[in-house]
Amino acid sequence: MPITPHNVVPNSRREFLAKSGAGFGAIALAALMGGDLASAAEGNSLAPKKPHFPAKAKNVIFLFMEGGPSHIDLFDPKPLLNKLAGQKLPESFGKVILAMGENNAPLMECPRKWKQHGQSGLWVSDWMPEVANCADDLCVIRSCVSDGINHSSGVCQMNTGHVIGGRPSLGAWATYGLGTENQDMPAFVILTDSNRQVVNGPRNWGSGFMPASYQGVPFKSGEDPILNLNPPSHIDVARQKAKLDYLGQIDNRHAAVRNDKSELEARIASYELAFRMQSSAPEIVDLAGETEETKQLYGLNDKETNVFGRNCLMARRLVENGVRFVQLYSGAGSGWDAHSNIESNHGKLCKQVDKPIAGLLQDLKRRGLLDETLVIWGGEFGRTPMSEQGNGRDHNPTGFTMWMAGGGVQGGRTIGSTDDLGLHAVENPLHVHDLHATIMRIMGVDHTKLIYRHKGRPERIDMNEGKAEMKVLGLG
């Protein structure tokens, strides 16, 4: 056997450990630190990391209603709106410039029936009767604010903090700061409800200027969420492993002189993750073992709720198995964008998501997972009290509603408020930067200390502008 010269640089970390006695040290180190061998030997960037504070939530499920759900028809009742319906917006509310230009249309009534629910008396409209049954678990934030007036900029900011693409997504920041507990599954998973592309596509879950290993991994909706998961029957494990190792050698050799290309390192890691997923993922993504009662809880037995119900049940199974961040899109391709006929648009979409969301909250709670899982609901913005095209509403980024549940957040409360017509946030405005800072704080991360240096600049999730809203945390 030829002897490798001492001055030859190994092509990979794996080769280095294999050719040196230090490999045994890595085994001991992994055991002493409580980590797995893959994390220690490979220097895994997604290995679990200790938070800055005791974390209230370990995982996040973000229910994203893409297109902009109408807060004044769902969670923020405005009796004055119906009294003034048909009139112009009073001058006292100021001049409004929105996505479709200056809006001089008359105010449009909200025909919804409103009731108070739970011991807390939280107001929810008749469009969300099942979610209303979970009222005491919801912390409804009625004073959210963003800078994006169209879908591209609004969705981009809600996901990345900026109206212009190129920055890391919220899920990427979470996995960068905390890693993930299951090294055999992606840390950050995306689930959509149709084959339509989400506005902005992959940049919503991208890693921006961070290494590509932090980006989200899209799963398909339906019975086979992961494409090509199972190897052909004629290829055994040893043969596949040999092929993977050979690809790794080629990629490592290619990456050795391209240190600035994190995509190469991510590709190598993705091959290895895919190999591990072939053992662990099939059981996790297979819903067949769930009880009929659980399937009915999520609405899998109903054609209208089946797709989003499957995604919600999948989200529960993913966080239950150590996936850090799961994002579900309802209305992929701006489905909630109701410039006209909001009754039909929102009525249909609310029917699709109401029971699955309530089922998710109830299922997490009865399994003891809601305390450690932060569930977030909302879109990129809300909608105006003025009409558009007679029976729709325009985009409204100046005051809208999102809610949180679980993750130690005190439920049965409303935070902040909009004005009497639901146009502007007037009490405790919560900008997207503040929302992101708050989410990170709930996960035990001090957003001012979670820094990634890019071109010499210390970058943060909030672009150095946000603060954690302690009232949302139930601490102030």
Q: What's the domain count of the chain? A: 2
Q: What is the pLDDT of residue 283?
A: 84
Query: Quick one: pLDDT band at residue 274, thresholds 50, 70, 90?
Result: low
Pair (290, 439) in one structural domain: yes
pLDDT digits (tens, 9 = 90+) for 277-322: 666 677 888 999 999 999 999 999 999 999 999 999 999 999 999 9
Q: What is the pLDDT of residue 431?
A: 98
Q: What is the pLDDT of residue 17?
A: 42
CATH code of 193's domain: 3.40.720.10
Of 256 and 82, more confident: 82
Q: What is the pLDDT of residue 230?
A: 60
Q: What is the pLDDT of residue 103?
A: 60
Asked whether the predicted pLDDT for residue 60 surpasses 90, the reply is: yes
Q: What is the pLDDT of residue 4?
A: 40
- Poorest-pLDDT segment among 184-193, 278-287, 354-363, 369-378: 278-287
Pair (109, 204) in one structural domain: yes
Q: What is the pLDDT of residue 88?
A: 92
What average pLDDT does range 7-31 have in this prediction? 43
Q: In sequence order, which residues have a C-beta less than 8 Å from that of residue 21 and are 6 or more positions away? A: none
Query: Quick one: pLDDT band at residue 3, thresholds 50, 70, 90?
Result: very low
Pair (24, 114) in one structural domain: no
Looking only at the bridges linking them, the beta strands covering 97-98 and 373-378 are unpaired
In percent, how much of the chain has pLDDT > 70?
80
Asked whether the predicted pLDDT for residue 439 surpasses 80, the reply is: yes
Q: What is the pLDDT of residue 144?
A: 98
Query: Quick one: pLDDT band at residue 237, thresholds 50, 70, 90?
Result: low
Query: Quick one: pLDDT band at residue 408, thresholds 50, 70, 90?
Result: very high
pTM (two decimals):
0.85
Question: CB of 282 within 8 A of CB of 229?
Answer: yes
Tokens 């879109």 identify what position? 379
Q: What is the pLDDT of residue 40?
A: 36
Q: What is the mean pLDDT of the chain?
A: 86
Pair (39, 94) in one structural domain: no
Q: What is the pLDDT of residue 9?
A: 46
Is residue 389 one of the residues assigned to a domain?
yes
Is residue 3 one of the residues assigned to a domain?
no
Pair (137, 34) in one structural domain: no
Question: Could you tell me the residue range of the domain that residue 404 belongs to?
Answer: 49-473
Q: What is the pLDDT of residue 45?
A: 85
Is residue 468 one of the residues assigned to a domain?
yes
